Amino acid sequence: MKTMRILATIFCSISLLGFLTGCGPKAFTKGDYDKNVESENTLDDQWSETDMQKMVQKLVGNLTNHRSISASKRPPVIMVTNLQNKTSEHIDTQSVMDMVRVELTNSGRVAFVDKEAREDVAAEYEYQEGNMDSASKKTKGGQTGADFILNGRLDSITKEVGSDKTVYYKVTLNLTNLKTNLVEWTGQDQLRKLFKKKRIGF
What confidence tens digit (pLDDT) does each residue in 114-158 have?
A: 888 877 887 888 888 777 777 777 777 777 889 999 999 999 998
Q: Any idea what the Cα angle at residue 85 is, between residues 82 and 90, rounded to 5°?
A: 120
What confidence tens digit (pLDDT) does each residue in 149-195 have?
A: 999 999 999 888 888 888 899 999 999 999 999 999 999 999 998 88
What is the pLDDT at residue 160? 84
What confidence tens digit (pLDDT) does each residue in 1-50 have?
A: 556 666 556 655 555 555 555 555 665 565 565 555 555 555 556 788 88
DSSP state at residue 163:
T
DSSP state at residue 76:
P
| Cut 0.75: pTM above it | no
Q: Which secondary-structure segment (H or E) carries 83?
A: strand 77-85
What confidence tens digit (pLDDT) does each residue in 85-110 have?
A: 999 999 999 999 999 999 999 999 99
How far CA 138 is from CA of 112, 126, 135, in Å, comes to 19, 10, 9
What is the pLDDT at residue 98? 94
What is the pLDDT at residue 133? 74
DSSP, collapsed to helix, strand or coil, labels residue 170 as: strand
- Which region, left, alpha or beta, applies to residue 181 given φ > 0 means left and ψ of -120 to 50 means alpha? left
What is the pLDDT at residue 130? 74
How far CA 21 is from CA of 24, 33, 201, in Å, comes to 5, 28, 14
